[in-house]
Amino acid sequence: ETGVTQTPRHLVMGMTNKKSLKCEQHLGHNAMYWYKQSAKKPLELMFVYSLEERVENNSVPSRFSPECPNSSHLFLHLHTLQPEDSALYLCASSQESRGRSGANVLTFGAGSRLTVL
């Protein structure tokens, strides 16, 4: 148990479905992230909520929609996905400080394995 909990661990959905992935962190961190991990590809940063600002990767399709109601919870809403969206979706959190360089270590959840049929 890393202190970052993701649900569901496995999800199978059709292309017309709407589903959501949930992430909760119990570490008191102030930043949360969604990463996508596909076979043979590097981890891809999708969205960041950090110090009350949202940063997103412009290459992420609009069929992925994040929501961060507070610093402990993060959602990824999914709708009309494509088979190529099948991947492991990892949530992570960290403690960020303004203007501070150095290490801000990510703690990952166990991931949600998504299969789009």
Partner 1 sequence: QKEVEQNSGPLSVPEGAIASLNCTYSDRGSQSFFWYRQYSGKSPELIMFIYSNGDKEDGRFTAQLNKASQYVSLLIRDSQPSDSATYLCAVRHTGTASKLTFGTGTRLQVTL
Point out which residues bind partner 1 (CB under 8 A): 2, 31, 33, 40-43, 45, 48, 50-51, 53, 55, 90, 94, 96-99, 101-111
Using alpha carbons, list the distances in angstroms from residue 89 to 17, 18, 45, 63. 17, 16, 10, 14
Q: Which is nearer to partner 1, 45 or 60 (CB)?
A: 45
Distance in Å, CB of 84 to partner 1, minimum: 18
Distance in Å, CB of 109 to partner 1, minimum: 6
Distance in Å, CB of 79 to partner 1, minimum: 25
Distance in Å, CB of 26 to partner 1, minimum: 16
Using alpha carbons, list the distances in angstroms from residue 110 to 24, 32, 54, 68, 70. 11, 14, 23, 19, 21
**What are 43-46's contacts with CB under 8 Å, separation 24+?**
43/90, 46/76
Q: Which is nearer to partner 1, 13 or 45 (CB)?
A: 45
Closest C-alpha to 25, from 79, 77, 82, 96: 96
Q: Which is nearer to partner 1, 9 or 73 (CB)?
A: 9
Q: Which is nearer to partner 1, 4 or 81 (CB)?
A: 4
Distance of CA 89 to the CA centre of its chain: 6
